[in-house]
Amino acid sequence: MAGVNAARQVMGKAPVILRRDQAYIGVLVDDLVTREQDEPYRIMTSRAEYRLLLRQDNADLRLAPVAEEVGLLPPERLADLRARRRAIEEELSRLRATWLRPDPEVNAVLQEAGLEPLTDGVNALQFLRRPEVTYALVARCAPPPEPLPPAAAEQVEIEAKYAGYIEKQEREVARLRRLEEWPIPRDFNYQHVVGLRNEAREKLERFRPATVGQASRVPGVNPADVSLLLIALQGAKGPSAR
């Protein structure tokens, strides 16, 4: 991250800042700049709030847009990731529109896998969400037009099984995105924030958070302080913000 941003500064470009919901290194950097780290060995991945989104299996897909924008992704790698993402989305869409019928062929596959035969039709995507059902089994019951690469098949199964939890976490990210994207001027004068507690003022002046989201995570800053900061930022215009 330091190398990327050093190069971008030389080129006169804006820095790359990974959010806490984008990457573990985004969590690490955010913790380093907004918290007192008296015990560095306690900086662990458990600090991340969005571990359902920051999975090892989706790291390349998750960070590909950033890598593409920065220019760190070779064209052939980018094409491969786009093809995989497209295959995943198309297969999820196909399963969403596919129904498994209690046909002898389907039930034979299920019984071979040690599962109860179907007595009624069931949506293929909903069927895949059952704990005991794998994508490989669903693909045998309702084969795709072309076999999926193993990496894409893995993503289809994960996104299907954990869709509810992932969507809930994505809603939480969207709710907090407003604060994460609300910038605080680097020379903002916290002495002008009426009602701000002395502890919060001292911590904010020390850490100089770049956004309101970062400010909310500074130790010693509580929700009431954040509300006062928002009011001050909303009311500040031009030079009066300083």
Within the chain, which residues score under 70 in pLDDT?
39-42, 236-242
Residues 37-76: tens digit of each pLDDT: 776 666 777 778 888 999 999 999 999 999 999 988 999 9
- According to DSSP, residue 114 is labeled T
Q: In whole angstroms, give the CA distance from residue 207 to residue 215.
A: 9
Report which secondary-structure segment, H or E, holds 108. Answer: helix 104-112
Residues 199-209: tens digit of each pLDDT: 999 999 999 99
Mean pLDDT of the chain: 90
Domains in the chain with CATH codes:
2-76 (no CATH), 83-174 (1.10.10.1800), 182-241 (1.10.150.570)
Residue environment code for 36-73, b if the CB has 16+ CB neighbours within 10 A, otherwise e: eeeeeeeeeeeebbbeebbeeebebbebbebbeeeeeb
Predicted TM-score of the model (pTM): 0.75
